[in-house]
Structure 1
Amino acid sequence: MRDHTVVVGFGTKGRTALRTVCGAGLKKDQVVVIDPSAKAMTAAAVEGFEAVAGDATRSDVLRQAEVQRAGKIIVATQRDDTAVLVVLTARQLNPSAKIVAAVAEEENAPLLRQSGADEVVTGASAAGRLLGLSVLTPAAGLVMEDLMRQGSGLDMVERPVTKAETGRGPRDLDDLVVSVVRGHRVLAYDDPAVGVLEPMDRIVSIVRREGNGTGR
């Protein structure tokens, strides 16, 4: 394989991440799952993914999954210390892959970044914020919950700017634009630096999936 996606951990986080990326178009034959559990490996194989059984903190196991050739690596282990070791080893094997890792505690996020993760998702903080929103502003909580479910009602997507959209402001588009990606910068839709959309820009927007609603 080359430029494939490696997912370390086939628990709830790993499975949910895979549903999201596959729902966005990633083919299952371009995914390799690593997990030490035989039960998890069987489940991954049943769903159509290549599976490697073993400890992903070991470089030989990562090489079996051809991490050195991967384009993206998702680290969804159960323990934060395991995630740190996996990211560190994976980054040594592949200096250029996009690595996204999940941690339970926010205090461990800086260590993941220092180890080589490009993005770190803090599960406890995200869940806590959603709980708070649901209590204080139930409608906002429902919208956020809806956005977190791939393909249901509202979805957040990233796409290139079209030729017809070039030269227009983010708020002049039909889509609800949240951010503009310009080079290596992610700019808020109302950032003065955005001005008008340029040919090489990408936009992050909220869209409604056909046939789905946001009601409960």
Structure 2
Amino acid sequence: MAMPHTLKNKSVLAGFFLLVVTAIGTWGYYLLGYLEHGSPLWSLGDCFYMTVITLTTVGFGEILDLANVAGARLFTIFILLSGLGLAAYFVSTLTAFLVEGELTNVFWRKKMAQQIRKLSGHIIVCGVGRIGCSIMEELQRTNTSFVVIDPDEQRIRRLQVQLGDFPAVLGDATHAGDLEEAMVATAMGVISTLGDDKDNLCVVVTCRQLNPTLRIISSCKDAEFAGKLELIGAEVVMPNAIGGLRIASQMLRPQVVRYLDLMLRDKKCPVRIADVTLSEGSNLLGEPLSAINFDDFGPLLVMAIIRKDNPSPLYNPQRSVGLLEGDTLVVQTDIDSLERFRRLHA
């Protein structure tokens, strides 16, 4: 990630030029003495000391006999004028770096990096605009681990105060280095909600190169880009189209929309609709649906079963329906029961 022109960078740059002036002063005095006498008149240590007390204006007096060396005092004036400003600038930027929060930012970035390195099976959210914020809120409510990538540090800090602490990468999600910093290699999925479809396309392509098996979901404004995103393996969501369908549904089926909103948007409502896929090691394989002890999982309701080889859902399945590897159960339950069900049976 390309670093911005921060106080830290300015302090380092000022310090570098201050060292350059010190080196010029040291060797300048040495060469002036050599040219005057045809042999070294002063040692490098004395020349360095003279340069330092000149730059710092300590005022201990000249330890070198400059009066008898042509041009030595003019050279001292040059060193004094060029170095004094650099020294003052270096001290001021270093003080600002320590006092105005830049040092805190360094520690903050290290803290974020440490949190991210511990993650696996998480979701990477690219962009924290309006859509990204809503996604983060839902991921937090469902206790799902996630990492945010966004270039705006103030926006990330503000959201961390609003939503609670979460790991974040301060950078550009279209850059492979920032995705790698977010541990894309071990992530479960990526959600790209950048404002430009071209940027979302770049994120999807980069993620697919870094992790070919990654599940990727991207927002999209232009239908022209939707096909390109799907072509490289991304699931596409078009907020404008969904917004239109939502408005129509609100008019035609107001109570259904209200019911779904309670589960999907109301922070106080613990019930969610979720999907649970039965893996190869599930203890429910070959068993009927009735093998699930529904009383152990609170208000668990199996609304549909989606077979791996048949995208058409089996709605309101009978308790006698057998369960197969790869079956996805669409369930309605509370978050705690959902997590326990996944641990025991997924």
Query: Please, what TM-score do these two structures have when normalized by structure 1?
Result: 0.76
Distance 2:187 2:309 in 1: 21
Number of residues paired by the alignment? Answer: 201
Deviates more, 1:84-93 or 1:17-26: 17-26
Contact 1:23 1:150 survives alignment (8 Å): no
Normalized per residue, which structure has more strand? 1
- SS of 2:199's equivalent in the other structure is helix
In the other structure, the counterpart of 2:179 is 62
In the other structure, the counterpart of 2:122 is 4
- SS of 2:121's equivalent in the other structure is coil
Structure 1 pair 146/80, CA: closer, same or farther in 2 (3 Å)? farther
Structure 1 pair 209/56, CA: closer, same or farther in 2 (3 Å)? closer
In the other structure, the counterpart of 1:179 is 304
Whether 1:167 and 2:284 are equivalent positions in the alignment is: no
Distance 2:335 2:136 in 1: 19
1:197-208 correspondence runs (5 A): 197-198=322-323, 200=325, 201-207=327-333
CA RMSD of aligned residues (A): 3.2
Structure 1 pair 58/139, CA: closer, same or farther in 2 (3 Å)? same
Bigger-Rg structure (1/2) = 2
Contact 2:306 2:314 survives alignment (8 Å): no
1:30-69 correspondence runs (5 A): 31-46=146-161, 47-69=164-186
Q: Which has the higher contact order (CA 8 A, sep 6+)?
A: 1
Contact 1:20 1:150 survives alignment (8 Å): no
Whether 1:13 and 2:116 are equivalent positions in the alignment is: no
In the other structure, the counterpart of 2:236 is 120
Normalized per residue, which structure has more helix? 2
Distance 1:105 1:178 in 2: 33
Query: Please, what TM-score do these two structures have when normalized by structure 2?
Result: 0.50
Report sequence identity in percent.
26
* Structure 1 residue runs without a partner (length 5+): 211-216
In the other structure, the counterpart of 2:52 is none
Residue 141 (structure 1) shift? 2.7
Residue 181 (structure 1) shift? 3.4
Residue 43 (structure 1) shift? 3.0
* Structure 2 residue runs without a partner (length 5+): 1-116, 337-346
